[in-house]
Amino acid sequence: MAISTARLPGTLTGQPRRSGLARWLGPDYRLGLLFVLPIVVLVLALVAYPFGYAVYLSMTRKYVGLPPVFVGLENYVKLTGDGFFRRAVQNSFVFTFGSVAVKLVIGMGMALLLNSHLRFRSFWTGVLLIPWVAPTVVSALNFLWIFDYSLGVLNYLLVRVLHVLPQGVGWLSEPGTAMASVIGVNIWRGFPFFGISFLAGLKSIPAELYEAAAVDGAGALQRFRHVTLPGLKNILIIVVLLSTIWTFNDFQIVYILTKGGPGGTTQVLPVFTYEMAFGAQRLGEAIAVALYMLPAMAAVIIVLARYMRRGRRA
């Protein structure tokens, strides 16, 4: 093989003598750089460059088909005072924290139950994971149909079968219920990820800890507080932060269910960005919308990356 380096690791043979350059590049540099090269190209071309270009475009006035005109931070300043933008920011936070909080609770319940003595455990696990693997668009369309005002099955059940409502509700078309409905769909899709990750974490907590706690007279709640929660801490933080990023940037569910309506009550930032770019054709401002939250998001990403690396090394 032409690309072989055919060197034994230093731990086995003692560090072989090498020229300064080879030592600087590392013992496996030939195969290493060759294997990593495609990723380097990909990250530069598809992530780093577009990202840099996005930062530049956000500081321009840019319309489709016309060259960009540099305007500095004007787009950001304008957005700060823009009522539609501020509402989208607020909605994004409600959407994100509402979803993540409920997913956390349901996911924890799912994990604790799946970790208890249970018949057909792999069946339950398998079925409960389905919303996570099914295409999101399909799920969103299913709920669009379930929530339909006149022919949807939810209103049918509540009005004609269970008789709990005198008449149907426009789940997605009334300002009072639209946000709760899109949050509900996001929870439906996302809770299995919490559940299955917590389950993996629960399995790694040594049984002796629970036995010791029980010997010391700790009740179920105390065991949960003092053994389970500390044992899950890392996974808990990782899953919550991951889900926060994903939920904050969720485009499909809101786009398909409400497109931000009715009257902007479910308008979240990704949909706002899309509509400004491809509806209003104002690209510079659209990218400024997408990047406005970047400092906060970058902080989350850096903390999360640190925890994910630590989780790997543990």
* CA proximity to 274, closest of 252, 293, 257: 252
Of 50 and 176, the one with the shorter C-beta distance to another protein is: 50
Q: Return d(Cα 71, Cα 284) in angstroms, integer.
A: 10
Q: Which is nearer to another protein, 265 or 273 (CB)?
A: 273
> In the bound complex, what is the minimum distance in angstroms from residue 159's beta carbon to another protein?
11
Residue 109 CA: distances (Å) to CA of 58, 98, 230: 43, 17, 17
Nearest to 313 by CA among 250, 239, 234, 229: 234
Cα–Cα distance measured from residue 183 to residue 207, given in angstroms and rounded to the nearest whole number: 36
Q: Which is nearer to another protein, 139 or 186 (CB)?
A: 139
Provide, rounded to whole angstroms, the least separation between the CB of residue 196 and another protein: 6
Q: What are the residues facing 61 on neighbouring strands?
A: 69
Q: Which is closer to another protein, CB of 70 or CB of 278?
A: 278
143 or 171: CB nearest another protein: 143
Q: Give the Å distances, CA to CA, from 267 to 3, 25, 95, 165.
A: 53, 50, 10, 28
Cβ at position 279, least distance to another protein in Å? 12
| Long-range contacts (CB closer than 8 Å, 24 or more residues apart) made by 89-92 | 89/269, 89/292, 89/293, 91/179, 91/264, 91/265, 91/266, 91/267, 91/268, 92/248, 92/268, 92/269, 92/293
Min separation Cβ 175 and another protein, Å: 19
User: Taking the complex as a whole, how short is the minimal distance between the CB of residue 313 and another protein, in angstroms?
Assistant: 9
State in angstroms the smallest separation of the CB of 224 from another protein: 14
| Residues in Cβ contact with 314 at an 8 Å cutoff, skipping those fewer than 6 apart | 234
User: Is 111 or 179 the residue whose CB approaches another protein more closely?
Assistant: 111
Nearer to another protein, 46 or 77 (CB): 46
Comparing CA positions, the residue from 269, 99, 271, 244 lying closest to residue 185 is 99
CB 48 to another protein: min, Å:
9
How far is residue 60's CA from residue 75's CA, in Å, rounded to a whole number?
8
